């Protein structure tokens, strides 16, 4: 976005790790979230054309339902209200592919519900305010610098360490794995064409458009790391109400000129190089 000439304001926690922003952080304007008056970035820097919301709380670290709700619903609602009040044209929200009618495991239910609550608020607010709400249903994101609590990081790390026996489910569930650079390029493409999109509530699926079984992903990691680990498929049971298939419909993104350029092997290899 900076290379497109945008001035970028970033909201963060006072203790946020900015390591992944080392190359560009001197060009960003930062605000710490603690006790932040949400109107301040808008009043201090003039017109804001677009807001991109990517923050999330999965509830994996023992957060209470209230904390998950606060992070995934209340915080972005404050941001959306400020953006709407100061006449920002576009609000880009990051939703989850889990937001279906499927009943999920307990923590995913809380996470998905909190995300759905906010997207529903977006639908209501655009009825009354002149702001474009773009809801991005993000599939299974992976890549270098990923969150260490995620499955993709855990399996690469386990294979690199040659953990003797890696216990897994049968791995028949399929996911649409989307490499981080491809996901970022989709956000940029939507931002570039935002003014050409209709107003109101819009939705895009964001993935590769291909469903890959978890087993195939794990076997690719095992092969590309040259791991000696034993992969014990079937040693673990599926979670209750496991979502067995998810795949993005990327036709609307393709119509904007976006392309997914990173295949599974290439993306995994880049993760391995960074983690080594």
Q: Which of 31, 58, 111, 187 is catalytic?
A: 111
- Number of C-beta neighbours around residue 265 at 10 A: 12
CA angle 162, 166, 167 (to 5 degrees): 175
Q: Which residue has the tokens 């808008």?
A: 42
Active-site residue, 193 included: no
Which candidate, 54, 96, 104, 91, places its Cα nearest to that of 239?
104
**Is 234 in contact with 170 (CB distance < 8 Å)?**
yes
Cα Rg, the chain, nearest whole Å: 19
The answer to whether the beta carbons of residues 217 and 177 sit under 8 Å apart is yes
SS3 of 147-193: the string is CCCCHHHHHHHHHHCCCCEEEECCCCCEECEEEHHHHHHHHHHHHHH
- Distance separating alpha carbons of residues 144 and 154, to the nearest angstrom: 12
Cβ–Cβ under 8 Å, residues 10 and 30? yes
State the Cα–Cα distance between residues 39 and 119, nearest whole angstrom: 21
User: CA-to-CA distance for 72 and 80, rounded, in angstroms?
Assistant: 12
By CB neighbour count within 10 A (0-12 exposed, 13-18 middle, 19+ buried), where does 48 fall? middle
Residues acting as catalytic residues? 111
């Amino acid at each position: 976005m900076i290379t497109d000439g945008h001035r970028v304001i970033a909201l963060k926690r006072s203790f946020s790790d900015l390591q992944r922003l080392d190359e560009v952080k001197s060009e960003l304007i930062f605000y710490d979230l603690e006790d932040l008056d949400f109107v301040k970035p808008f009043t201090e820097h003039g017109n804001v054309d677009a807001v991109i919301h990517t923050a999330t709380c999965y509830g994996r670290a023992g957060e209470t339902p209230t904390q998950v709700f606060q992070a995934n619903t209340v915080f972005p609602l404050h941001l959306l209200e400020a953006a709407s009040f100061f006449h920002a044209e576009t609000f880009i929200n990051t939703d989850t592919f889990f937001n279906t009618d499927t009943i999920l495991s307990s923590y995913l239910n809380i996470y998905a519900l909190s995300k759905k609550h906010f997207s529903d608020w977006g639908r209501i607010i655009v009825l009354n305010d002149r702001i474009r709400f773009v809801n991005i249903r993000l599939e299974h994101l992976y890549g270098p610098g990923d969150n260490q609590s995620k499955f993709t990081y855990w399996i690469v790390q386990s294979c690199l360490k040659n953990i003797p026996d890696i216990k897994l489910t049968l791995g028949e569930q399929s996911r649409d794995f989307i490499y981080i650079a491809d996901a970022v390029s989709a956000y940029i493409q939507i931002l570039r064409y935002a003014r050409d999109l209709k107003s109101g509530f819009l939705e895009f699926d964001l993935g590769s458009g291909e469903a890959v079984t978890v087993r195939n992903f794990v076997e690719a990691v095992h092969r590309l790391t040259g791991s000696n680990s034993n992969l014990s498929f079937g040693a673990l049971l599926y979670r209750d109400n496991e979502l067995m298939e998810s795949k993005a419909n990327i036709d609307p993104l393709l119509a904007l000129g976006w392309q997914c350029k990173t295949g599974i092997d290439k993306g995994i290899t880049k993760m391995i190089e960074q983690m080594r």
